[in-house]
Amino acid sequence: MTEPTVPAGPAGPSPDPARAGRKDEHVRLAAGQQAALAAGAGPRNDFDEVELLHHALDGVDPAHVDLTAAVGPWRWPLPLYVNGMTGGSVATGRVNRAIGIAARATGIPVATGSVSAGLDDAAARATFTVVRDENPDGFVMANLGADRTPDDAVRAVEMLRADALQVHLNAAQETVMPEGSRRFETWAGNVAAICAASPVPVVVKEVGAGLSGRTLARLAGLGVTVADVGGRGGTDFVGIENDRRPTRDLAYLRGWGQSAVACLLDAPAGAPHLLASGGVRTPLDVVRALALGARAAGVAGRFLRVVLDDGEPPRDAAATDRAAARLVEEIEVWRSHLAALHGLLGARTPAELMTTDVLVRGTVREFAALRGID
């Protein structure tokens, strides 16, 4: 196994230092949030308000469960994927390499972080393409912001030989980010143009503030067939960007938006196929999301924590191999637990979970009542 061929240091061009520094900071701050959540310092999230009714005679043998998930035009081997996170610096290239190795070993679909840096900066490219190099035949999604052009979208797909293109909507993050973009009015038109130009299906996602029912209806009208609701309750990008502001004056916006659970309840008839992410902590959260209508669930922060070593990206190729092995082990545990939970709930496939009896409590119930959802 080789390291991403990113020349670091004076011997050759390095990724743009300001952008690379930002990517490293995102990983460091997201890791800090995960550590706080793991220590129980974080709030419960809306998945805790979703209870699945137990029926004692309904179980099926886990050996008879087929975890294949039907998402848009695809068949994924399990209803789980590694969501878009990173790339753009030497250290984050190692994180991506570990994700690529784990993807090949487990068959799990994966996404890179926003490949903008790789399009604009040749030195950063290998920190993204390493995901494809390590995983030549797996399902890989490239990721791009909604402010980019259709031509950029095509280049992003070509760069990774991507099977899908994630386009992220992140107005709350950009609002708080010191160097954030504010050209929000162009996004809907860009999404439609990117869908029309992209050689592969587009998955529109939020990064942690959720996609409302109205947004999902608009996305369907723009030609989007798969959407990841990316709700609040997990990695909080408003918090991350606020911590990067010298004044930290937008702390009160932490937790902006809706949770994945609320978004799944709010989704209108005719919405794109739904993916759920944001605060997915365990295989039980995946199953809860599937019971609420998601086709699969995405995990970012939780899996990042596994790849990092004491909160730090791998330092060299050997450490990257060890990080990949930890991630493989974690994904295999999730696969086996998912089969067990499907069996417990009497579902032979992820699609069968959609008829599970679900109770929602607390603030989610209040949200549903206020939105007129029964």
Contact assessment for residue 306 and residue 330, using Cβ atoms and an 8 Å cutoff: yes
Nearer to ligand FNR, 12 or 180 (CB): 180
Q: Which residue has the tokens 């949770």?
A: 259
Q: How many residues bind ligand FNR (CB under 6 A)?
A: 27
Nearer to ligand FNR, 208 or 350 (CB): 208
Nearer to ligand FNR, 65 or 142 (CB): 142
- The verdict on 208 binding ligand FNR (CB under 6 A) reads yes
The token pair that represents 298 in the structure block:
């995405």
Q: Which amino acid is at 305?
A: R
Contacts of residue 36, Cβ cutoff 8 Å, sequence gap at least 6: 42
Nearer to ligand FNR, 98 or 300 (CB): 300
d(CA 96, CA 304): 10
Residue 300: CB minimum distance to ligand FNR, A: 3
Contacts of residue 322, Cβ cutoff 8 Å, sequence gap at least 6: 309, 314
* Cβ-based neighbour number of residue 72 at 10 Å: 16
The token pair that represents 352 in the structure block:
């069968």
> Contacting ligand FNR (CB under 6 A), which of 67, 69, 124, 300?
300
- The verdict on 86 binding ligand FNR (CB under 6 A) reads yes
Distances (CA, A) of 322 to 20, 159, 217, 317, 319: 23, 27, 43, 9, 5
d(CA 224, CA 321): 37
**One character per residue 103-142, x = contact with ligand FNR (rule: CB under 6 A):** ----------xx----------------------------
d(CA 205, CA 145): 10
- The verdict on 210 binding ligand FNR (CB under 6 A) reads no
Residue 296: CB minimum distance to ligand FNR, A: 13
Site for ligand FNR in 161-190 (CB under 6 A): 166, 168
- Give me the residues paired with residue 70 across strands: 75
Nearer to ligand FNR, 241 or 343 (CB): 241
Q: Tell me how far the alpha carbon of residue 182 is from its chain's centroid.
A: 23
CB-based closest residue to ligand FNR = 234
Nearer to ligand FNR, 106 or 343 (CB): 106
The token pair that represents 149 in the structure block:
């052009």
Residue 170: CB minimum distance to ligand FNR, A: 7
Residue 304: CB minimum distance to ligand FNR, A: 5
Phi-psi region of 230 (alpha: psi -120 to 50; beta: other; left: phi over 0): left
> Contacting ligand FNR (CB under 6 A), which of 4, 15, 79, 84?
84
User: What are the helix (H) ranges across 109-266?
Assistant: 116-120, 122-133, 150-160, 171-176, 187-197, 213-221, 237-244, 260-266
Nearer to ligand FNR, 27 or 110 (CB): 27
The token pair that represents 303 in the structure block:
């899996």
Stretch that binds ligand FNR, among 57-65, 132-140, 263-271, 274-282 (CB under 6 A): 274-282
Q: Which residue has the tokens 């997201």?
A: 30
Stretch that binds ligand FNR, among 1-9, 78-86, 147-155, 363-371 (CB under 6 A): 78-86
Stretch that binds ligand FNR, among 156-164, 189-197, 294-302, 334-342 (CB under 6 A): 294-302
d(CA 284, CA 71): 20
Stretch that binds ligand FNR, among 3-11, 80-88, 154-162, 359-367 (CB under 6 A): 80-88
Q: Which amino acid is at 219?
A: L
| Site residues for ligand FNR per CB under 6 A | 26-27, 30, 83-86, 113-114, 143, 166, 168, 205, 207-208, 230, 234-235, 277-280, 299-302, 304
